[in-house]
A and B are shown apart, each in its own frame.
Chain A
């Protein structure tokens, strides 16, 4: 075998192993999706979205209450943690050199590593025990602790990629630091920041453990923040280990809906961000050309 052939062979082997790894990484997602579609989508019907569970033994019923509950509590969690996480991330990226920043960064890293069941216990002690009731608030709070470190770190990483000379360009124009940060750095990376937030939000939407003894669960539709609330993950957990065939089927359906919501959040947010940009820009193009034409007419 000549040297050239040897090198070509090496090349092929290397490329081959890359493709193999890519395939192996993709495989779980496809298998999961396939399973969920086969088992979940087939158990799905309109009632699933429009009705709350029917009593044991009775046919029909749905999971409207859990879908609403999941969105509700993820909403609470995001409301608390997205602003704080964004600001923390901006602080770390733009000013993060001192000791405070070091401690904050360390804390955030620790927070990422805390098992979610422990976050649930923490929320239980902090909110459920004093109020003596499971509640949507406690669930939302637990989810906010999941969301916070992910948003913070993704924000920091994204903003750190912005080269210093862009900041200097802004400062040299006589812009105050906060304007440089918000109107140039943050605005310029809006898309990536949203993607980071969505990643955190969809992570939270799929969590079961933090909700088990905070929001607990509910068989009825609930909008009260101080009362127990159903969520898709907990509902899946409850139904999947039940002995009833119908419940198990509904657990599959719920799993399918949950993953659709999670993927949907991602896709919709991306589409929204992209669309806004495109619309905004085409409008601007029109304005300019009109102005130029007008000027030429004069």
Chain B
């Protein structure tokens, strides 16, 4: 496995990444590399800055009033925090599924899925419908919504909305996908399908997923990072983090004694 790590291309890498909400220092100097075609889990106790960290990776964090970030995040070798980088362009290459499902309330299920494509200029209905079906199938939602694509996205249940948001993120085909607790509102069957999806996506893309579910991280993630109070405690192969952690804190957390 270690050999593999060295020959793999790095898709995304953070270097001394810090994030603040006004004076509150939420992420404290995280440096991690994410190789291409991997699933990477971020774990840690509630409030430790996992979401904030993830939101720095597509520069959505800076949209919060008073929030700022410093350090480096490089996507395929290019620092996305460099002054000439347009965050709008950047975000097209990094899909995101938020912790709370957030479908567009004024749009139908169908429109929700294809909105990204539509606003990029694709308008052929048959093509959009094909993409919608494809993405909804991947997000394990198609069977439940295929007869009501014209109902508002918000008419779905919470878990269905989350899968709708996953489908929406997939539709623009981003090489990097950030997922913030995508399965926390889902039943085991839907969760399993999403895990399957991530494993599927891994063939082409890089996935970074925040999760509170240790088993899930151990099952699907190639690498796992463990955060406490905004600091990176340990990062490594999941097999190592979950069976043979170097840090005492990590061991306590993954065995359920702390957190």
Using a CB–CB cutoff of 8 Å, the interface residues on chain A facing chain B are 97, 163-177, 179, 183-184, 187-189, 281, 284-285, 287-288, 291-292, 294-295
Question: Which candidate, B20-28, B34-42, B94-102, B210-218, is the interface stretch facing chain A?
Answer: B94-102
A284 to B152, CA, bound (A): 13
* CB atoms of A173 and B168 under 8 A apart: yes
B129 is an interface residue with CB less than 8 A from chain A: yes
Least Cβ–Cβ distance between B164 and chain A, in angstroms: 11
Dominant secondary structure of chain A at its interface with chain B: helix
Q: How far is the CB of B90 from chain A (nearest CB, A)?
A: 8
B7 part of interface (Cβ distance < 8 Å): no
Q: How far is the CA of A117 from the CA of B156 in the complex (A)?
A: 52
Mark contacts of B78-121 with chain A using CB atoms, 8 A cut-off: 1 yes-contact digit, 0 otherwise. Answer: 00000000001111110110101011111110100001100110
- Report Cα–Cα, A200/B43, bound state, in Å: 52
5 additional A-B pairs beyond A166-B105, A285-B150, beta carbons within 8 Å, are: A171-B63, A172-B169, A173-B95, A173-B119, A291-B126
B201 within 8 A of A: no
| B interface list, Cβ under 8 A from A | 58, 60, 63-65, 88-93, 95-96, 98, 100, 102-108, 110, 115-116, 119-120, 125-126, 129-130, 146, 149-150, 165, 168-169, 172
Closest to B87 in A: A171
Contact (Cβ within 8 A) A172 B58: yes
Q: Which of B65, B106, B116 touches A174 (beta carbons < 8 Å)?
A: B116
Q: Are A175 and B88 in contact (CB under 8 A)?
A: yes
Given A165-B98, A168-B98, A281-B150, answer yes or no on A174-B92 (Cβ-Cβ < 8 Å).
yes
Q: Which of chain B's residues has its CB closest to A287's CB?
A: B125
Given known A168-B63, A291-B125, contact A188–B149 (CB-CB < 8 A): no
Inter-subunit contact B105/A173 (CB<8 Å)? no
Q: How far is the CB of A169 from chain B (nearest CB, A)?
A: 4
29 A-B residue pairs with Cβ-Cβ distance under 8 Å, sorted by A, are A97-B65, A165-B100, A166-B102, A166-B105, A168-B60, A168-B98, A168-B102, A169-B103, A171-B63, A172-B60, A172-B96, A172-B98, A172-B169, A173-B115, A173-B172, A174-B91, A174-B116, A175-B88, A175-B116, A176-B88, A177-B88, A184-B106, A188-B105, A189-B106, A281-B150, A288-B110, A292-B146, A294-B126, A295-B129
* Residue numbers in A under 8 Å from B130 (CB-CB): 295
Contacts of B108 in A (CB 8 A): 281, 284
A99 smallest CB distance to B (angstroms) = 14
Chain A residues with CB below 8 A from B150, complex form: 281, 284-285, 288
Chain A residues positioned under 8 Å from B149 (CB to CB): 288
Minimal Cβ-Cβ distance residue in B for A179: B119
With a CB–CB cut-off of 8 A, which chain B residues contact A184?
104, 106
Docked Cα-Cα span, A288 to B10, in Å, equals: 42
Docked Cα-Cα span, A97 to B105, in Å, equals: 25
Residue of A with least CB distance to B174: A174
Bound Cα distance from A284 to B111, whole angstroms: 11
Residue of A at shortest CB range from B100?
A165
Docked complex Cα distance between A165 and B106 (Å): 14
Given A284-B150, A288-B129: A188 and B98 interface contact (C-beta under 8 Å): no
Interchain CB contact under 8 A, A169 and B63:
no
Give bound CA distance, A206 to B58, whole Å: 52
Residues of B within 8 A of A163 (CB): 102
